[in-house]
Chains A and B, each alone.
Chain A
């Protein structure tokens, strides 16, 4: 049944009514309509309520616009949904037309009072829209954080070029540019509320230049931002201040641009001027050294000092004169007797009591340099031994031992009276001592052993007299013979330097007697005319050494050291 619908309140009236029963509005000219037939859609705001849920694009669009407008009117505090530029313009147009369809108004009122009044599809759409907004907000925050971390030189774990590409290359469409502009605008408002509209406008103009530059300015404060404002960056500058870095193991596969503007001249200058304290100290030392080297110095006159070579010559000449005086001017008569050492007395007594047929062995283990001292010590003993026809054996462990002994015998006239059996030269003392002792004990022979022209004597000795200048050789003889042939008496005639280390053998009984140096001889025999001059020279030498020692202690001797050119 056709009815008349009031254009004012929409109430249905009878076809023949002239005024509305509800609002009393005139119904003249209103065409009757059949409420059972669908009406044609002539305007956007007249969206039928019973429209199928699958075709809700217009409804969603209107809801989206409404939400966007609400957010914008609330002071732009919350996140703004992503809108196209065209949609924003339409939204602005709609703000100028505040008319809201009545059906929509009713729907909104009902939705506010009754949440369930909104259909299931509408709720899902809203939830999806909110989820989308949340995701976009999170993504934007992550981008902002990555950009800030990159400015601070930190590695945020993301591909370094992602943020820069997103910011500086808005080539992904106008929608992305609008999104970036949106959150950037909000950040600027939040962090820099003191900036006026002029600066905001300027910054807005640079949105396409460098977001990174703005963030750097934001971090470095207002002074830096002024510099940024004064010198707007160009794309060419970015190209010059970036370098290509490979991020892929395969060369050339994947490269990205990394901003190196931090090494700008201003920053480089600041880094170069920052020096440590140690560097400063070294620089100061170097400067002081250079100044010291360049400083004028007075010419040093070479001062003539007493030459140490001259002192040495004087001392040497003095020594020679004193020793010569002692040697050439012999003192006769004054025979003095010192403290007789028991070890020396034992040697003398053994030599005096030797029977004529005694078998003696002389071991010669001294160098030619010690011959003068040993000759003086051994001569009194040899004079006692030089009986007519006595057989003696000599065994040398030094190359010139036999020659020295022959000369000693010649000086004591024993060479003509003694029968000398030379047993040869044994290069190692231990070999001679060990072989000699075993030869004494040998009671059988190896039948196939060849005969030596000079072999160690097998007969027992009545005494072995060792002439040694060093304790090493004498020790070898003493230790081997005293252990292998302890019944053979051993006597020593040694130098003064070897005696101290051999005295323990005398105290232990391994050695029967020791004559050590000229001091022992003169203590036994007194100062005879035979070696009075040598004894005086010996005393003068010792006295000179004592004087030089004392003088050297209290008056240090200077000497030149080659290579250093200085005095010590």
Chain B
């Protein structure tokens, strides 16, 4: 009984959402209610995560553990942003600049590091795998893509160069379609397994 109830709830919800695609006019309010419940639960989970993070940093400061200084900075920034946001609201230019002028450079720097890491990983791949057809294909594909993104090669519409450029741009679409079809089939299989109670993620399995 302890296992049957979650299965019934999951299957019932799945059936209702699935039926919403076919009987949208009749089930739209019910589905809206389910969506709101789901969003509320996810928001509550976010609040719990924030509370856990604050608690962890508080404990780190109280126990004078390693990195307690950074925890102090995190807590000060968090409470300042939180209180300021409650007072000024996101529409305020000062509050907006306060948040984004910190967040944007930090995330952009992380992305720059990521690009350099990917570059080095591609070099390491060539060195470890050697000059195999796969590594050569990867190298040639990366170089061609980068050169095309430079937009220095100008082709007149209808010329052979434009046709080649169009071919090279469309070449990845074949593989991308295969990836998308695979993802769709995978999602379908996962949904069916949950719907048929073969996989029960709500039980931690």
Question: B176: CB under 8 A from chain A?
Answer: yes
CB-CB under 8 A from B143, the residues of chain A are: 546, 549
A400 to B101, CA, bound (A): 12
Question: A407: CB under 8 A from chain B?
Answer: yes
CB-CB under 8 A from A484, the residues of chain B are: 21, 24
Tell which of B28, B30, B107, B123 has the most Cβ of chain A within 10 Å. Answer: B28
A504 to B172, CA, bound (A): 10
- Which residues in window 2-48 of B have CB below 8 A to A? 17, 20-21, 24-25, 27-33, 35-36, 38-39, 42-43, 46
Assess the B176–A553 pair: CB atoms within 8 A: no
Tell which of A445, A446, A504 has the most Cβ of chain B within 10 Å. Answer: A504
Tell which of A403, A404, A406, A552 has the most Cβ of chain B within 10 Å. Answer: A403
Assess the B42–A428 pair: CB atoms within 8 A: yes
Assess the B42–A368 pair: CB atoms within 8 A: no
With both chains docked as a complex, state the minimum distance between the C-beta of A541 and any C-beta of chain B, in angstroms: 8
Name the residue on A nearest B170 (C-beta): A503
Question: Of B54-62, B68-76, B92-100, which stretch is located at the interface?
Answer: B92-100
Assess the B176–A504 pair: CB atoms within 8 A: yes
- Which residues in window 195-251 of A have CB below 8 A to B? none
Assess the A431–B39 pair: CB atoms within 8 A: yes
CB-CB under 8 A from B20, the residues of chain A are: 438
- Which residues in window 160-205 of B have CB below 8 A to A? 162, 165, 172-173, 176-177, 179-180
Known: A339-B155, A372-B108, A442-B28. A542 touches B39 (CB 8 A): no
CB-CB under 8 A from A522, the residues of chain B are: 151
A427 to B180, CA, bound (A): 23
CB-CB under 8 A from A456, the residues of chain B are: 32
At the interface, is chain A mostly helix, strand, loop or mixed?
helix
A438 to B24, CA, bound (A): 7
Name the residue on A nearest B97 (C-beta): A407
A450 to B38, CA, bound (A): 15
Question: B137: CB under 8 A from chain A?
Answer: no
CB-CB under 8 A from B127, the residues of chain A are: 556
Question: A332: CB under 8 A from chain B?
Answer: no
A548 to B110, CA, bound (A): 20
A444 to B25, CA, bound (A): 8
Please tell me the number of chain A residues within 8 Å of chain B, measured between CB atoms.
56
Assess the A523–B93 pair: CB atoms within 8 A: no
The digit string for B92-120, where 1 denotes a CB below 8 A from any CB of A, is: 01001101100110111011000100011
Name the residue on A nearest B175 (C-beta): A500
Assess the B90–A428 pair: CB atoms within 8 A: no
Assess the A434–B165 pair: CB atoms within 8 A: no
Assess the B123–A557 pair: CB atoms within 8 A: yes
B90 touches which of A406, A496, A542 (Cβ 8 Å): A406
A338 to B156, CA, bound (A): 9
Assess the A546–B103 pair: CB atoms within 8 A: no
Assess the A539–B152 pair: CB atoms within 8 A: yes
The digit string for A430-457, where 1 denotes a CB below 8 A from any CB of B, is: 0100110011011111100100100010
Question: A426: CB under 8 A from chain B?
Answer: yes
The digit string for A36-80, where 1 denotes a CB below 8 A from any CB of B, is: 000000000000000000000000000000000000000000000
Please tell me the number of chain B residues within 8 Å of chain A, measured between CB atoms.
60
Question: B154: CB under 8 A from chain A?
Answer: yes
With both chains docked as a complex, state the minimum distance between the C-beta of A560 and any C-beta of chain B, in angstroms: 15
CB-CB under 8 A from B177, the residues of chain A are: 504
CB-CB under 8 A from B97, the residues of chain A are: 407
Question: B86: CB under 8 A from chain A?
Answer: no
A109 to B62, CA, bound (A): 129
CB-CB under 8 A from A336, the residues of chain B are: 154
A427 touches which of B25, B39, B154 (Cβ 8 Å): B39
Name the residue on B nearest A502 (C-beta): B176
Assess the B149–A442 pair: CB atoms within 8 A: no
The digit string for A506-536, where 1 denotes a CB below 8 A from any CB of B, is: 0100000000010100110000000000000
Name the residue on B nearest A338 (C-beta): B151
The digit string for B116-130, where 1 denotes a CB below 8 A from any CB of A, is: 000110110011000
Name the residue on B nearest A341 (C-beta): B169
A517 to B149, CA, bound (A): 10
Known: A368-B104, A369-B108, A404-B100. A496 touches B149 (CB 8 A): yes
A507 touches which of B42, B99, B142, B173 (Cβ 8 Å): B173
CB-CB under 8 A from B139, the residues of chain A are: 549, 553
Assess the B146–A503 pair: CB atoms within 8 A: no
B151 touches which of A367, A434, A523 (Cβ 8 Å): A523
The digit string for A484-505, where 1 denotes a CB below 8 A from any CB of B, is: 1000000000001000110110
A542 touches which of B32, B38, B150 (Cβ 8 Å): B150
Interface residues of chain B, those whose CB is within 8 Å of chain A, are 17, 20-21, 24-25, 27-33, 35-36, 38-39, 42-43, 46, 90-91, 93, 96-97, 99-100, 103-104, 106-108, 110-111, 115, 119-120, 122-123, 126-127, 139, 142-143, 146-147, 149-152, 154-155, 157, 162, 165, 172-173, 176-177, 179-180
Query: Could you jot down 9 A-B contacts, CB within 8 Å?
Result: A339-B162, A400-B103, A407-B100, A426-B39, A428-B38, A428-B39, A431-B42, A439-B28, A443-B25
Q: Which 9 A-B pairs have the closest CB atoms?
A: A369-B107, A442-B28, A435-B35, A552-B123, A368-B103, A438-B28, A441-B24, A368-B104, A427-B42
